Amino acid sequence: MNLFRVMIVGAITVLGLASCGANRSMGVEYVPSVASRSQVLPTDLPPMKAFASSGTDGPSRPNSEIAGDFLDLAFQLESGRTLPVLSRFEGPITLALRGDVPGSMQADLDRLVQRLKGEAGIDIRVGTDGGPASITVEVIKKRDLQRLVPHAACFVAPGVSSWTEYKRTRHSNRTDWTRLTRREQMAVFLPGDVSPQEMRDCLHEEIAQALGPVNDLYRLPDSVFNDDNFHTVLTGFDMLVLRAFYAPELASGMTRAQVAARLPGLLARLNPAGGRGTLNGAAPTPVAWKTAIETALSGAGAATDRREAATQAVLLARRQGWHDTRLAFSLFALGRLNLGVNSDIALAAFREAEQIYGARQATHLQAAHMGVQLAAHALSLGNAETAIAIADGHMRAVTQAENAALLATLLMIKAEGLDHLGRDAEAQLVRLDSLGWARYGFGSDAEVGARLAEIAAIAPGLRS
């Protein structure tokens, strides 16, 4: 289940795209006035862009560390409940789409299935006969999904094959993950009235969980199985975990101890670069930190309480001696919640988080999420060259991660910077490029137009 997708996407789409000149706080949400600069959305928008087939880098961490991640992902739920045995599908897997399916979703599903076959070695195909399937993906309205599960962007449930069936049995043993010994039937529920990117992100995470891990770990730097939600397309680490899940050395019904005994040799075979190594289990993330970060990003409660929770998350992370994704994510939350409240805290938090994320290849995408805030701030101060340099520095990681919303935002910031430098023709080409990605990342023309106007509005008076 993805609880924070909307929150993190919101951080991209709301951004700190705000007028914040030298005497204004960074990232105040901006309501354009009549006098504000604006960009007019072209009458004929360029076609929606889509990412071509791209390979993913394999995990860079040692197998001894990955083995501990695998066990914690496979034998625990996000709620903290323990799973007694490994469960997976045994034999060929069929997948079916039901409901009002947008064309972009079908294309994204086909790409995902090909990756699962090629990179994870899973025997999976999309059914075409309309019959029962191992995994059913049902598209429903967002309001219907969140009426039942208010904080979820999308989710997967065991033991059912339709929304109607899930509503009838959701409180029964049939949908209890802890009772699974073998997977026979799974259903993924996702909204069809959101942006193409959000639908694709749901496909990746929820189908992966239908096949394999149903837990998320905040400590993972390179995975969709992390509630920080920066990675939304399956990574090389994720494909290795899924390949291990379906390796012949493992089977449904095996205990944690049985799987642990086989993992070193299994991972050495699948990922020789990671070595064999002795299993290195990581210390669990303290509940107090999880509670603080979830309170900060919940979107509920008083703003002051949420800022206090973010501050507490940073303090707890420092006391743990962390200098990893958990400290950086705490700083990200602190920065977000201080946009428009305390510019010094916000800027310092984003800059420190960017340094932590930028120090490792595996977290360059996360660094880009910090960079877009800093580029917007530089643009608001009239520092066009700095804004362009920051945007350019993050393009590769964002493109590789296939995040069209973030890519479009960086391109829009770059276009505004080029306008400021008088490079009008180049700015126009970059802006048109951004619109193709924005149509995939943000969805409707109205959303695309709003984003374009917001980016223009954070650069007051750069050029008349």
CATH number, domain of 205, equals: 3.40.390.10
Which range marks the domain in which residue 25 is found? 5-47+285-457
The last residue of a domain, from among 274, 305, 337: 274
CB atoms within 10 A of CB 360: 16
Is residue 350 assigned to a domain? yes
Q: Work out the average pLDDT over 290-295.
A: 94
Residue range 114-133, pLDDT digits in tens: 999 999 999 999 987 777 89
Same domain, 230 and 350: no
- pLDDT above 60 (res 59): yes
Exposed/middle/buried for 389, CB within 10 Å: 0-12, 13-18, 19+? middle
Tell me the average pLDDT across 56-66. 88
pLDDT at residue number 13? 31
The string of pLDDT tens digits covering residues 239-258 is: 999 999 999 999 999 999 99
Residue 39 above 80 pLDDT?
no
**Chain mean pLDDT for the chain:** 88
Which tokens hold the place of 437? 């990605």
pLDDT in tens, 410-419: 999 999 999 9
Nearest to 458 by CA among 41, 24, 12: 24
Q: What was the pLDDT predicted at 52?
A: 80
Confidence of residue 180 (pLDDT cuts 50, 70, 90): very high
Domain count of the fold of the chain: 2
Structure tokens given for 448 = 């695309």
Residue among 341, 277, 284 nearest 310 (CA): 341
| 16 confidence band (pLDDT: 50, 70, 90) | very low
Q: Are residues 260 and 386 in the same domain?
A: no
- Of the candidates 108, 128, 133, 121, the residue with the CA atom closest to the CA atom of residue 51: 108
Q: Are 145 and 136 in contact, with CB atoms under 8 Å apart?
A: no
Q: Is residue 417 part of a domain?
A: yes
Residues 37, 124: one domain? Answer: no
User: What's the pLDDT score for residue 1?
Assistant: 53
For 333-374, write each residue's pLDDT tens digit: 999 999 889 989 999 999 999 999 999 988 999 999 999 999
Helices (H), 301-363: 303-319, 325-337, 343-358
Q: Write down the pLDDT at residue 169.
A: 94
